[in-house]
Structure 1
C-alpha cells in the first residue's frame, strides 16, 4: 500500500459527489475502479455514497493521481476517517450491526422502511423479476437482491431509486416517485457550496471567511 497525501479540498469532494449524482452509483464505481461499499457510506441529505470511491475521485481531482483500491484502506483507518476529518458524516464508522438476510422481499421491505410513495413502484419492479434472496447491509442503506441461480445481487433498491444490471451486463436505474435527487437535493447542495464560496474574501491569496459585514478583517 503506497503512502498518499492528506485530502484537504472539500470542493474536490463536492465535485465527486456531484458526478456520482449525475452518472449514477454503478457507473461511478466502474469509472474509478471500485467495488460497492459494504459498510462505510458518506451520508448527505441527498443520499448515501460509497466512501472509498468518493475519496479516490476527490483525490484525483485534488492531486491529479488515480488511486486504486490497493493504494489505501477504507473505513476507520482510511477513506472514512479522512472524509470525516473534512466534516462529512460517515455511516458505519461505529457500526456494530450485521447484515440482515431475508427470503422474501416483503420482509426486507419492512426492515428497510421505504417511503410510502415508493412502495408500489418497488413491488412492481420486484414482481417482474425472479429474486430469491434479499439483504440489507450493515449500513441499512439499500436492499440488495440476488436472482435465482446467482450468488451476488444484481439489483439494489435505495431510498429514491433502484439500480439493476441487465443480462448483457449494462446497468440501468429507475427513479421512484419520491426521489430527493430528482426533486432538487443536488441543487440545494450546489447552492450551499456557491453561497459558501461567496463568503470567501476575494483578495488573491487571502481565502479568509468574510464576517457578516462582508469586510475582511485581514485585508
Structure 2
C-alpha cells in the first residue's frame, strides 16, 4: 500500500502540518510513536519518516485516508525507499562509524536551531524526538544506539539544571560534575560514555530547562579530572584541538603573561577560559588546598599568582588550588609565598597564619608553580605592603 505514495507535494503537506502543530501533536493525532531510527531530513529539519509517509498517503489518497502505524507493507525499508524515490533524504540515526555519528549529531543540531523560537528555546519534544536527550538523569548516553561506535556508548546529552552548581554554567561552557547516585555502576557507565564522546570528538548537547521549554547548546567535552569529578564542556561549532585528559602543562613553554579573552555583560566581566584554568590547575596539583589541607573539591578554587587584571596567563603553573577563604585572603595580599623557600609569609601586623587558617606554612606539592609566577606575586606583595 505504501508503494502507492508517489506525490511529493503530499509529503510536503505532511511536513507543513508537522511544523504547524508540532511533532508531539502530529504523532498523537495520527497514532504514531516517535521514531527511533529513521528520519526525513528536509530544509535542515528532522521528521519521523514513518509518520510523515503515513500522513502523506492520506493527502494523496483522501478517500482512503492516512495510514496507521500497522498498515505499512514492507516495513521501514519499503517506506524509506518510497520517500527517497520522490527525492527526499532519509537519515538512519543508527550510525555504524564515528564519522556517521558526528554527521548525525550535526543534523540534530541543525534541526534544533531551525526550531528555536524568538527566545532561542525549543520544545521538550523537539529535544527528545531526535534523541538529543532521552531520560530523567543528567547524562544521556543512549548506549543501545551509540555502542556501535564505542563499547561504552558515547554520551549524547548533558542536562544542566543549575540547582546544585549554578556558578559552573556560563555563556562559553560548563564545568559538568560527574553523577553521584545510588547506582554507582550506572554512574561509571555515564562517565565512561562522556569520556568516549571526548575521545571520539563527538559533539554533545547541553540541555537547560526554562519552564516547559528547553535551551540547547552544541558542545564538546574538552577534558576531565577524576579526583574532583568534573568535565570541562565548551560550547561552539568546533571540537577542541586536544582533549585534556591529564596534566600537559610541563610539555609547553611557560608564559606568565597572556592575552586572555574578556567579555563584559552589564556589570559582569566574564572570563571564558576560567573553567579551563580551574580544570588544568586541578589536573596539575589535585583539588586540594596545600596550605589549609582542605580537600573538598566543591570548596576549592583556582587562584592566579599573576592575576587576570594584571595580564596573567591561564597557564596552570601560574596558579594554585586554594580553599575559597584563603583565595580571598591571597587576593587581598594578606599573605604571600616566597619563591625560593616556598614559605608562607604574613604581614607583621597580621592576620597571623592561625588567623588565616594556614596549617602548612611551606608550600609542598609534587608539582610546583613556576618560579617566575611565584616571584612576580611575591614582589607584588612586597610592594603592596611597603616592605
What's the TM-score bracket when you normalise by the shorter of the two chains? 0.3 to 0.5
Kindly indicate whether structure 1 or structure 2 has the higher relative contact order, using CA contacts under 8 Å at least 6 residues apart: 1
> Normalising by the residue count of structure 1, what TM-score does the alignment of the two structures yield?
0.47
> Normalising by the residue count of structure 2, what TM-score does the alignment of the two structures yield?
0.28
Q: In terms of Rg, which structure is larger?
A: 2
